[in-house]
Amino acid sequence: MKKIKIFVLAEVREEYIHPVSFELLHWGRKLLWNSPGEVVALVLGATLRSTLEELIAYGGDRVEFFTHPNLSVFDAQTHAQVLLPFLREEKPDIILAAATVRGRALMPYLAAQLQTGLTADCTDLALEVKTGLLLQKRPAIGGNVLATIKTPHHRPQMSTIRPRLQKPLPRDERRTGVITIHRLESCPVPRVKRLCLEKKETSTLLEDQELIIAGGRGLKHPKNFALLFEIAHLLHGAVGASRVAVDMGWVSYPHQVGLSGKTVSPKIYLAVGISGAVQHLSGVMNAETIIAINKDPQAPIFRVADFGAIGDALEILPHLYRKLKARNDHAVQES
């Protein structure tokens, strides 16, 4: 059986290997579960504070590090021009990247230059063992269905994958692999010049929150989302929403969780008045603890919830708010 060569595009943020790179390595290892092959991590940057051995410890068989001062700032065209000669020589079967801003910018450019296809924003991947074809699943028709896409006639097969759908494998210091450092003598000059960098003190991205309280159709009116925001503030969390709530204009799209929204992996996900359609559950399955509040005891959300309360959310939420407010006020008085 032919060995399958899977390349993953590791991301470097401010000289550190970003955790999404380790998620990609897990996807690669998962695809090779019943097939022979190797997972190769491609890294580009000027300097690196993380050790390349980390990519081996998290599932890589080989690491290829391309370094040059011009690679200090991400530029899709510059990165692509560095990678293309190597990709044409190595001829990988599969190339994977995260569906981040960088992955979504770089992968289409690479696919066009390599004259192959690209399936963007995948939610699951599998491998047909007999054919070696990559089965790429992604939302289609506005997120109402999951399409399975194949690339039978062109190589490499290329996909971007939503972050946080796959947790990294446990770090294994016993793993061994090959690390090659390519010190480039020349490199294209990026078209983008970074003048300064301003860091936010805290992240407001829904994907980065450890506690999310999300509302759905069961809240019945947009004004009831105001109570969710109050509770989220008391819990130091963020507000999410089902697609139905967003479609009805009750809350803006950045709060949407699910196939056509954000994929989240908080420590606690509190679903309020959300029935639990497959489209929504696909975005929260990596949450450590799911708590559901719904008046329908047969709601699908209870099948995946760790804890559940059967009741009207509009009766339960005010009680929850008063309890949390009293606790916080007491804590402030004592301090």
Whether the Cβ atoms of residue 255 and residue 280 lie closer than 8 Å to each other: no
Output 149 or 34, whichever has higher pLDDT: 149
List pLDDT tens digits, range 210-269. Answer: 999 999 999 998 888 999 999 999 999 999 999 999 999 999 999 999 877 888 889 999
User: Regarding predicted confidence, which is higher, 150 or 201?
Assistant: 150
The superfamily in CATH containing domain 206-334 is TPP-binding domain (3.40.50.1220)
pLDDT tens, 93-116?
A: 999 999 998 999 999 999 999 999
Fold of 4-183: Rossmann fold (3.40.50)
Q: With CA atoms as reference, report the closest residue to 136 among 149, 121, 146.
A: 149
Task: Tell me the pTM.
Answer: 0.76
What share of the chain has pLDDT > 90, as a percent? 65
Q: For residues 39 and 288, what is the distance between their CA atoms, to the nearest angstrom?
A: 28
pLDDT of residue 165: 84
Contacts of 285 (CB under 8 A, 6+ apart): 165, 304
Mean model confidence pLDDT for the chain = 90
Where do runs of H (alpha helix) occur along the chain? Answer: 20-31, 53-57, 76-90, 101-114, 225-234, 243-247, 278-281, 301-304, 313-334
Distances (CA, A) of 17 to 9, 53, 250: 11, 11, 38
Please give the backbone phi and psi of residue 321, each rounded to the nearest 5 degrees, phi first.
-65, -45
Q: Which amino acid is at 151?
A: T
Q: CA-to-CA distance for 174 and 177, rounded, in angstroms?
A: 10
Domain boundaries, the chain: 4-183, 206-334
- Supply φ then ψ for residue 66, to 5 degrees: -105, 120
* Banded model confidence at residue 199, pLDDT cuts 50, 70, 90: low
Residue 38: strand pairing partners: 5
Mean pLDDT of 166-185: 93
Q: Quick one: pLDDT at residue 285?
A: 82
* pLDDT at 141 > cutoff 80: no
Closest CA to 241 of 253, 226, 224: 253
The whole-number average pLDDT for the span 199-207 is 63
Q: 282 pLDDT band (50/70/90 cuts)?
A: confident
Region 33-57 average pLDDT: 92
Cα-based distances in Å from 63 to 32, 37, 303: 17, 15, 41
Two domains, one topology: 4-183 and 206-334: yes
Give the residue, 281 or 92, on which the prediction is more confident: 92
Structure tokens at 318: 């005010």
Residue burial 26-56, b: 16+ Cβ < 10 Å; e: rest: bbbbbbbeeeebbbbbbbbbeebebebebbb
Exposure class string for 173-191: b at 16+ Cβ within 10 A, else e: eeeebebeeeeeeebbebe
Can you read off the two tokens belonging to residue 277? Answer: 């359609």
Provide the pLDDT confidence category of residue 125 given band limits of 50, 70 and 90.
very high
Regarding predicted confidence, which is higher, 146 or 123? 123
pLDDT tens digits, one per residue of 4-27: 999 999 999 888 999 999 999 999
202 pLDDT tier (thresholds 50, 70, 90): very low
Angle, to 10 degrees, between the axis of helix 313-334 and the axis of helix 225-234? 30
